[in-house]
Amino acid sequence: MKSFYVKTFGCQMNENDSERIVTILRRQGMTPAASEEIADVVVFNTCTIRENADNRFFGQVNKLRERRAVDPGMRIVVAGCLAQGEQAAIFERAPHVDVVVGTHALGSIAQLLERSDGERHVIDVTEASDGLDPLADLVAEPTDGHKAWVTIQTGCDNNCAFCIVPQVRGGEVSRPFQAVVDEVRSLASQGVTEVTLLGQNVNSYGRDLTRRMRREEIESGDRGFLTGQVYVSDSIPRIRPLFADLLRAVGAVDGIRRVRFTSPHPKDMREETFQAMAESPMVCESLHFPLQSGSDRILAAMHRGYRGERFFEKLQLAREIIPDLAVTTDIIVGFPGETEDDFEATLELVARCEFDSAFTFIYSPRPGTEAGEWRDRFIAPEVIAERFERLKLVTERSAAAKHHARVGRIEEVLVDGPSKRDATVASGRTRQNKLVHVAGLDGDRYRGEYVNARIFDAGAHFLHGELLARD
Ligand code: 5AD
Ligand code: SF4
């Protein structure tokens, strides 16, 4: 019996795809191995969002070069975004790789592995099929028993000048409304209580389904499946499945206690989504709202579709509608052409937004993207490094303040397991998605359980709590 090991780089979308790969390989009769050093089949599910993601992958795959040379039965598979975007480079820089499988061809991984018995380099990077559901036959078994990712949409229709995602993941395709709800039902019946809905731009969910229904003849049964609505007759016009409706529907599934989602795009964020978050008790008070820059000039060059002030207004609206909302963001430092004034506008807006935490990134030119060509406007690395540190001070200030504001409160914690550093402490997440270490709680025994903890201390990235009462 063959064993496999899947190594995942990048975002939650990739984590979820890796779960699909695991399901496929298990169905082939393979078993999981403890590490890539001993597995017969090693799958790298790659990311290419920044250059260091590429480099990390090449570093890791090259470690297997010697073993592959002496082990003819071993197979190395490269899947994911780098596989889709840089097929040729993979076989050039790592000729010991056996199979390259792109983001749209995951489902064929088993057949490709079979082909690799007779062919040195096997590759499938064909684009998406146009079936009703791009992930219909690709089941993801959750890695954690109590929480799961649910992909609601693949690809992206935006054209942010820095971003490679549309190239490697293709255009936006929403999964049918009912397929998402059915998947959540099935997860709930297996004991999952927290789901995170995934997409590159979740709040434009359904836009393509509406277009498709206008363009194509779709039977009424399929229409209902696509939009989640029962069609009385084909003549009912233009019913549009909305992300806000999907949030409500998923929150209403029996057994689901927490619903999260990532990521929305600020330009498409509408009040109806905030209303659904506020009205559906299962939707958590947590929002990832990627700002990218606080300079209107840079936001325009990035093609983000909003100005700093508009972003701030939407954020205010979210906080008004959803009590106790935690907000996180993404910011890029050193986008081509960013001046000191632009950067100061970012510092100023970030300070006003008071984020709970911020993921800050150094701009990385990606081949084939618009901004990747703007070499004459690239910013010197030492200037970027200095800006990066200044930004960190501002984001950490609000993060610390937000954490300290929780001290003395009672928080519901979903236990993930024992803390990595101390087995007498259990770690979990609050509804706001803050990490809590609960002292004196057996993390193995309470994994997947909801407990109430009183927060007595706060660090920069986590809270300390003591058990109050079991739920
Ligand atoms: N360089 C740096 N950061 C990037 N991101 C996307 N593309 C790049 C790039 N070329 C960041 C954005 C996005 C997050 C997932 O990664 O901030 O929101
Ligand atoms: Fe995720 Fe983008 Fe990286 Fe692909 S390139 S794994 S979509 S972050």
Separation of CA 81 and ligand 2 centre (Å): 6
Say if ligand 2 is within 6 A of residue 10 CB.
yes
The reply to whether 143 and 208 lie within a common domain is: yes
Known binding residue 284? Answer is: no
Please give the Cα distance from 168 to 172 (Å, whole number): 12
* Ligand 2 centroid from CA 366, angstroms: 12
Rounded to an integer, what distance in angstroms lies between the CA atom of residue 114 and that of residue 468?
Answer: 54
Ligand 1-lining residues (CB < 6 angstroms): 49-50, 162-163, 290, 292, 330, 332, 361, 363-364, 366
Tokens of 245: 């409706």
Q: What is the pLDDT at residue 234? A: 53
Kindly write down the DSSP assignment for every residue of 447-470, as one continuous string: TT-EEEEEEEEE-SS-EEEEEEEE
Q: Answer yes or no: are the C-beta atoms of 441 and 432 closer than 8 Å.
A: no
- Write the CATH number for 107: 3.40.50.12160
Domain, as residue range, for 451: 410-470
**pLDDT in single tens digits along all 471 residues of the chain:** 899 999 999 999 999 999 999 999 999 999 999 999 999 999 999 999 999 999 999 999 999 999 999 999 999 999 999 999 999 899 999 999 999 999 999 999 999 999 999 999 999 999 866 777 889 889 998 888 999 999 999 999 999 999 999 999 999 999 999 999 999 999 999 999 999 999 999 999 999 988 887 777 777 778 778 887 755 455 554 466 789 999 999 999 999 999 999 999 999 999 999 999 999 999 999 999 999 999 999 999 999 999 999 999 999 999 999 999 999 999 999 999 999 999 999 999 999 999 999 999 999 999 999 999 999 999 999 999 999 999 999 999 999 999 999 999 999 999 999 999 898 999 999 999 999 999 999 999 999 999 999 999 998 889 999 998 654
Is 156 a known ligand-binding residue?
A: yes
CA atoms in the 13 A half-sphere facing the CB of 230 = 1
The answer on whether 353 is annotated among ligand-binding residues is no
Q: Quick one: tokens of 364?
A: 């990385």
**What is the number of domains present in the chain?**
4
Looking at the fold, whether 32 and 116 belong to one and the same domain comes out as yes
Whether the Cβ atoms of residue 8 and residue 18 lie closer than 8 Å to each other:
yes
Span from the CA of 170 to the centroid of ligand 1 (angstroms): 17
Who contacts 361 (Cβ-Cβ below 8 Å, separation ≥6)?
50, 330, 331, 332, 333
CATH code, domain with 343: 3.30.750.200
Q: Closest ligand to 370 CA? A: 1
Q: Cα–Cα distances in Å, from 318 out to 266, 289, 311, 315?
A: 11, 10, 11, 5
Neighbouring CB atoms inside 10 A of 135's CB total 22
* Shared domain check, 139 and 74: no
Give yes or no: residues 270 and 174 share one domain.
yes
**Ligand 2: residue whose CA is nearest its atom 3:** 47
Interval 318-368: pLDDT, tens: 999 999 999 999 999 999 999 999 999 999 999 999 999 999 999 999 999
* Three-class SS of 146-181: CEEEEECEECCCCCCCCCCHHHHHCCCEECCHHHHH
For 242, left (φ over 0), alpha (ψ -120 to 50), or beta?
A: beta
Which ligand is closest in space to the CA of residue 266?
Answer: 1
CATH of the domain at 451: 2.40.50.140
Same domain, 144 and 88: no
